Amino acid sequence: MIKDIIRKIRLLRNKKKEPYLLFYNMLGFYPDKIEYYQLALHHKSAPLVAGGKRGSCNERLEFLGDAILNSVITDIIYKRFPNKQEGFLTNLRSRIVSRESLNQLAAEIGLNKHVVASKHTIKNSNNNLNGNALEALFGAIYLDQGYRKCKSFVEDYLFQHFLDWDELLENEINFKSKMLEWCHKNHLEPEFVLIDEIVVKNRHTFRTCLKIGNNVICEATGSSKKESEQKASKIAYEQINNTPDFIVKLLQSPMEEEKAEIFSE
């Protein structure tokens, strides 16, 4: 009780201060421990602030925020769509937490204007700087005010002002989800293998291979691991629809293929 009173007094004293107003305008509430939020906006490419420690950037908060955001979204859509199956829920969650969606959402709440990073990183239009900072912000909210505040922030603020359920529910194919469903239906085990990651001037390119059983189906590249997996899934899914005997080839073991070659000789 006393702690809550002290916290309210401290917040009332700080409300008119610029950093607190900045985050209030962005998030719709006043932070308590503002240092978490400031760190969430500090990219590793930015110079250290006075007295800052090496490694003082938002990467750890991003790691935490990614897990919190996925948990919050899962919680919300599970309860909102009680009659929908796993594939639908997975697809919808993937759309909400995709890099493209988070980058756009970061811009809509004004976060992109306050991320601290090197000029080169900011100019690079192919990075996920703002979406990553938004994930870090979720980590900050969780550490500062807990899981319930994270959920109410998404449910009562973001979905009320920036996220549209109708738009999210439009029929946009998530090819990775489709591939996982198809493999599960046909009792096959898919595996996404990261083959390579190339970094040139802060620009990442990921190369992923999709295997089903012992068969290498295809490879694809993208600016993120998720994007490369989606592209590989799309290639494979198109093969399924365009090649009638695709599943027959998958079900043939290497030993059966060797036998077939021997008998054909």
Annotated catalytic sites, by residue?
A: 66, 135
CB 135 within 8 A of CB 58: no
CB 240 within 8 A of CB 246: yes
**Per-residue DSSP letters for 44-81?**
TTSPPPTTPPTT-SSHHHHHHHHHHHHHHHHHHHHHH-
User: Exposed e or buried b for every residue in 5-26, given b needs 16+ CB within 10 A?
Assistant: eeeeeeeeeeeeeeebebbeeb
The two beta strands, 190-200 and 215-222, are unpaired
Give the pair of three-digit tokens for residue 88.
């639908």
H or E stretch covering 234: helix 225-242
β-pair partners for 190: 212
**Residues 36, 39, 45, CA angle at the centre, nearest 5°?**
165
Q: What's the sign of the alpha-carbon dihedral 146, 147, 148, 153? A: positive
- Rounded to the nearest 10°, the torsion over CA 188, 189, 195, 197 is 110
CA-CA distance, 49 to 72, in Å (whole number)?
A: 32
**Position of tokens 């059983």?**
213
